Amino acid sequence: MTRVKICGITEFEDARDAVLLRVQDDRLALLELGRDVALGAGEGLLADVVVRYQRLVTIVGVFVNHPDPQNLEDFALSIGLHAVQLHGSETPDYCSMIQRVKVIKAFAVDSNFRVDTLKNHGSGTFLLDGCSSGTGTGFNRNLVFGANAFGSIIIAGGLTSANVSEVVTTLHPFGVDVASGVESKPGKKDYEKMRRFIEAVQRADVGMMGDS
């Protein structure tokens, strides 16, 4: 079953809706809180989500080139994160030093991207996004065929309920990541768009099971 990662949560109501939609679908959600959590500004939101939903979701925080991986790990644990998503130039050694929370290493996909780059990081979880991460810009999906041979792959960039089924059925990712594709305005999630997106992923999964 393909996981759905709702990216850039900034309001508790949006977190609640995302969680409840996934609970109805009987699958664990991945919930990425807004990037200000890494700076401490989102800790109130995070605390509310952790208290109510920590057993139902994987809570992800985004970081870029934090200087000390073990300090980052300690901080992530102290505020209740289950995973850290690394969007900088973090090396395989850096990633391997983080053991007590899940590591999602992000890669920007452009014409120079090669899937075998992932093998340098060992068997892990990788987020493959467009070059302008967080902008809803897609990329040439042909560039990432075969990437899931090297770990668990999460596809991001320009996904909506209209195109996510094709991504699921052609790339067979561990998860799909959506932000602007389920928003009514920047930073505000839309319940119906989230519902349609999740249902599109579910239909794709069911269709693949029928084909097997």
The pair of structure tokens assigned to 104 is 């999602």
Annotation marks residue 14 as catalytic: no
Q: Which residues of 133-171 are buried (b: 16+ CB within 10 A; e: fewer)?
A: bbebebbebeebeebbebbbbbbbbbbbbeebbebbeeb
Q: Is the torsion defined by CA of 126, 98, 36, 67 positive or negative?
A: negative
Catalytic residue chosen out of the listed positions 14, 17, 129, 177? 129
Catalytic residue among 7, 14, 17, 177: 7
Burial of 44 (0-12, 13-18, 19+ CB in 10 A): exposed
Question: For the chain, how far is it from start to end, CA to CA, in angstroms?
Answer: 14
Rounded-to-integer distance, Cα 132 and Cα 110, Å = 10
Rounded CA separation 198/18 (Å): 9
Measured CA angle at 34 (ends 30, 39), to 5 deg: 120
Q: Return d(Cα 54, Cα 76) in angstroms, integer.
A: 14
Q: Is 131 a catalytic residue?
A: no
Residues identified as active-site: 7, 129
